[in-house]
Amino acid sequence: MAKADILQLSIDRVDTPVGELLLVADHDGNVRAIDWTDYESRMFRLLRLHYGTNGFKLEPAYNPHGLRDVITRYFAGDVAAIDAITVQTGGTPFQRSVWHELRKIPCGMPVSYGRLAERIARPAAVRAVGLANGSNPIGIVVPCHRVIGSDGSLTGYGGGLERKRWLLEHERKYASS
């Protein structure tokens, strides 16, 4: 791969009430990855999967394209702030359809995996939807934490169930304000 073909990415580390967040963006301001620092190795694995082992370069940056400010507003209670963030990622067409639909889930209104499968017109693909949800490289902005079990229970979240609970409660608290 020629040096010009290497995707140049910025990485910022943002303190939040539930831990330090890694925020990765491209030169156009699209978020390419978000993960928690305690899952940094997973984020790098997903970046390699989507862009190739030598297909990207990360450079530390503070507040690239104002994205830190937007994430900080979200955690301060402006939960709709993340809606305007643009994202771009690899993934299969099916995964991208699930991730696109995740962005349509209203803040404070979680849905089940089954309902999410119905919303992408694949009602029998509940397990595949769950796998795509779990492979989402852009947590919070592509809100995989808003997907719950059919019985309303909290089910897996890449950042841990305590963070998922916190995020859902945070959004419920501020979604109506």
For the domain that residue 159 is a member of, what is the CATH number? 1.10.10.10
Are 23 and 61 in contact by the 8 Å Cβ rule? The answer is no
Mind listing the pLDDT tens digit for each residue in 122-152? 999 999 999 999 899 999 999 999 999 988 8
Q: At what angle do helices 126-134 and 93-102 cross, to 10 degrees?
A: 80
Residues 79 and 106 grouped into a single domain: no
Number of domains in the chain: 2
For residue 171, give the nearest of 143, 150, 130 by alpha carbon.
143
Q: Strand pairing partners for 118?
A: none
CB 35 within 8 A of CB 52: no
Which one is catalytic: 34, 71, 79, 144?
144
pTM, full prediction: 0.92
Tokens of 35: 């993960």
Catalytic, 107? Answer no
Same domain for 102 and 69? no
| Tokens (6 digits) for 171 | 């959004």
**30: nearest Cα among 134, 132, 138:** 138
> Residue 76 belongs to what domain range?
3-84
pLDDT tens profile 45-78: 989 988 999 999 999 999 999 999 999 999 999 9
